[in-house]
Amino acid sequence: MHPEIGTGKTPENLIPVHIMGTRYMVPPSLPIMAAMEYAGYRLLRGCGCRRGLRRACGTAYRIHGDPQLFSGLACQTVVQSGMYLAQIPFFPARRASYDLTKLEPSAVALFGAYPQLLRCLGCGACTKACPQDIDVRAYMAAGMKGDIQRMADLSFDCIMCGLCAARCPAEEAQYNIALLARRLTGRYLVPRSAHLEERLEEIRRGDFDADLAELKSLSKQELTARYSAREIEPEDRLGSRED
């Protein structure tokens, strides 16, 4: 923790932020998560992958003097002077229970599982809150029209952080509704993958059992060496490259 925290001094290379109600001085170049660790927090939960992929570090914040509520992922959002932070490890939005095998890819399935979908106001607060810059309002509009595949396509990059639901005045669960659309699309609307079927058959035949048994027998050091020595991309696919 910085020695001048709590003294009221503001070194030129540090800025003031408030984390869970306490004022700290942190470098202005850090994302929120790193700033919390700089301030002395030990993050064991709500830190996820640290690359914007795991939805574990949703954070709500305000800026001193600005009445607007902002949101972002703590692993990506850079701190600002006068920032007030409160982490949201997950958002308890409504999640419907359903048996995908008993549903059809239709508007009836969406509205039956999530009738609140029709309450969408089209205000765009969800789109503004999205740290992935997904047009949430657009995929919700597609869902209200019963266009399941378009809803799935527009929401494809969603990491389900829940920040859209946290900002929604209609109390929608946008990301859960979109997840159902993607599941329906994957099961019913897109062509089956031939190479996936082939790989599943290879697994059922036990083609990889010997390789898996060998890997399980290796020590951690041997596994690390094997992982480091792997060929990530075949040379013939990479092509020639000049450094």
162, part of any domain = yes
197, part of any domain = no
**Confidence tier at 55 by pLDDT (50, 70, 90):** low
Q: pLDDT tens digits for 183-213? A: 999 999 999 889 999 999 999 999 999 999 9
List the structure tokens of 182: 């993607």
By mean pLDDT, which of 13-17, 59-63, 178-182 is the weakest?
A: 59-63
Pairwise CA distance, residues 177 & 151, whole Å: 9
List the structure tokens of 136: 């949430």
Residues of the chain above pLDDT 70, percent: 83
Alpha carbon 145 to its chain's center: 26
Asked if 56 contacts 46 with a C-beta cutoff of 8 angstroms, the reply is yes
Report the phi/psi class of residue 124: left, alpha or beta, with left for phi > 0 and alpha for psi in -120 to 50.
left
How many residues does the structure list for the chain? 243
Residue 8 predicted with pLDDT over 50: no
Q: pLDDT tens digits for 92-115? A: 788 999 999 999 999 999 999 999
- pTM for the complete prediction? 0.65
Domain boundary among 56, 88, 120: 88
Number of domains in the chain: 2
CATH number of the domain at 78, please.
3.10.20.740
Q: pLDDT tens digits for 158-191? A: 988 888 988 899 989 999 999 999 999 999 999 9
Q: pLDDT tens digits for 121-137? A: 999 999 998 988 999 99
Domain of residue 152, residue span:
100-189
Neighbouring C-beta atoms of residue 216, cutoff 10 Å: 8
Look up residue 178 and give its DSSP letter.
H
Average pLDDT, the chain: 86
According to the model, what pLDDT value does residue 3 have? 39
Residues 73 and 131 in one domain: no
Degrees, nearest 5: CA angle 189-194-197 = 100
CATH number of the domain at 135, please.
1.10.1060.10
Of 59, 38, 39, which Cα lies nearest the Cα of 47? 59
Domain boundary among 63, 88, 113: 88
Beta bridge partners of 235: none
List the structure tokens of 240: 């020639």
Q: What is the largest CA-CA distance in the chain?
A: 68
Residue labelled with tokens 């810059």: 133
Pairwise CA distance, residues 101 & 215, whole Å: 36
Residues 112 and 183 in one domain: yes
